[in-house]
Amino acid sequence: MFETVGSLTTSPWIYAVVALSVILDVFLPVLPSGVLVITAAAATAAAGTGLAGPPGTAAQMQEVPDILLLLVCAAASSVLGDLAAYRLGRRGGDRLDRAIARSRRLTRAQERLGQALSRGGGALVVIARFAPAGRSVVSLGAGVAHRRIKEFLPWSVLAGMAWAGYSVGLGYFGTQWLGATWLGTAVSVLALFAAGSLAAYLVRRPAPAPATP
C-alpha cells in the first residue's frame, strides 16, 4: 500500500488527490487521507535532505510536493469537507433528523457540541477532527442542531489547521529522523492512529456535569 501511495507523490495530481480524499473522508472515513498527507510530506523531506538519491539522479529529479502548498491544501480541504457535512446536516430534512435521533452516539455528540459552542468554546470540534468518524459526527451534528455558522466555522478552521499541521509534520520530520524507508512512514502513520485513538476516547468521554451555584 505504501508503494502505491508513494508513487502518487511524484505526480502533479497529488494535490488534487489529497484534496479530494480529505474532503470526501467526512462522508467516507475509511479513505486514507491521513496516509496520503503523511506520504507526500515524507517525499518532500526525502528530496530536501538528499535521502531520495544523489543529486541529478532520476529519484532526485522527480517532482515532489511543496510542503507549504501541501499544508494549505490539506487544511483548506478539511474545512471544505466540514462545511459540506454541516450544510447536509442543516438541510437534511426529517429523514436525517430521525436517523440521528436513533443513534445514541450522534445524539450525544450533538448535545455536547451544542453546549460547547453556546459557551463560546469548541475544543470538541478540534479533538473530533483526529478521531475516526468524529469529524463526520460533529459536522453533521452542528448542521442538524442548526448551530450558527459563525460558531462552527472558526473551530473547523482551527481543527483543519491542527490536523494538517500534525499530519504533515509527522511525515516530514519522521522521514528526517528515521530516513526515507517504509519504517519512517509506518511510524508516522502509527502516530496518527495513536492520536486518533486518544481523540476518540476524549470524544466518547461523558461531558462534566455543570457546576451548581
Most distant pair of Cα atoms in the chain: their distance: 71
| Cell matching residue 19 | 484534496
| Cell matching residue 78 | 478539511
pLDDT score at 136: 83
User: If we measure between CA atoms, which residue out of 5, 9, 3 comes closest to residue 44?
Assistant: 9
185/43 Cα distance (integer angstroms): 10
> pTM for the complete prediction?
0.79
Mean pLDDT computed over every residue of the chain: 77
| Cell matching residue 71 | 499544508
DSSP secondary structure string for all residues of 32-78: -HHHHHHHHHHHHHHHHTTTT-STTSHHHHS----HHHHHHHHHHHH
Distances (CA, A) of 97 to 34, 108, 143: 30, 14, 10
Half-sphere exposure of 113 (CA within 13 A, CB side): 32
| Cell matching residue 126 | 478540534
Q: Please state the φ and ψ torsions of residue 188, each to the nearest 5 degrees.
A: -65, -45
pLDDT score at 122: 75
65/58 Cα distance (integer angstroms): 16
Tell me if 59 sits within 8 A of 22, measured CB to CB.
no
- Helix runs in the chain, H state only: 2-8, 14-24, 33-48, 58-61, 67-90, 93-101, 104-118, 123-128, 134-144, 149-178, 182-204
pLDDT score at 19: 93
pLDDT in tens, 115-126: 666 555 678 889
| Cell matching residue 103 | 443513534
What are the residues whose beta carbons fall under 8 Å from the beta carbon of 119, sequence distance 6 or more? Answer: none
- pLDDT, mean of each 10-residue run, the chain (213 residues): 55 86 88 86 72 43 74 95 90 66 63 59 83 83 82 92 94 81 79 87 62 45
